[in-house]
Amino acid sequence: MNWDDERPKAAKSASLGDNLETLSVAELEQRIEAFAAEIERVKAELARKRSHENAAAALFKKPGD
């Protein structure tokens, strides 16, 4: 028994700067969808952190400011 055959294959991930010439139209569309989903995920995390930052600033705001 070859244990390498039993191990799940790692999913290929898209990275910035990858060579796009070898990809099909469908693969390019999938990359666009994946990057769009990642952008939305990053935006949501950024909004969450900004909200936390604003709450902390309001909590420690000096009187009269």
What SS3 class is residue 65?
A: coil
Q: Is the pLDDT of residue 6 over 90?
A: no
Q: Would you list the domain boundaries of the chain?
A: 24-65
Mind listing the pLDDT tens digit for each residue in 7-29? Answer: 666 556 888 899 999 999 999 99
pTM for the full predicted model:
0.67
DSSP secondary structure string, 13-52?
Answer: ---TT---TT--HHHHHHHHHHHHHHHHHHHHHHHHHHHH
**Which helix (DSSP H) or strand (DSSP E) does residue 3 occupy?**
helix 3-6
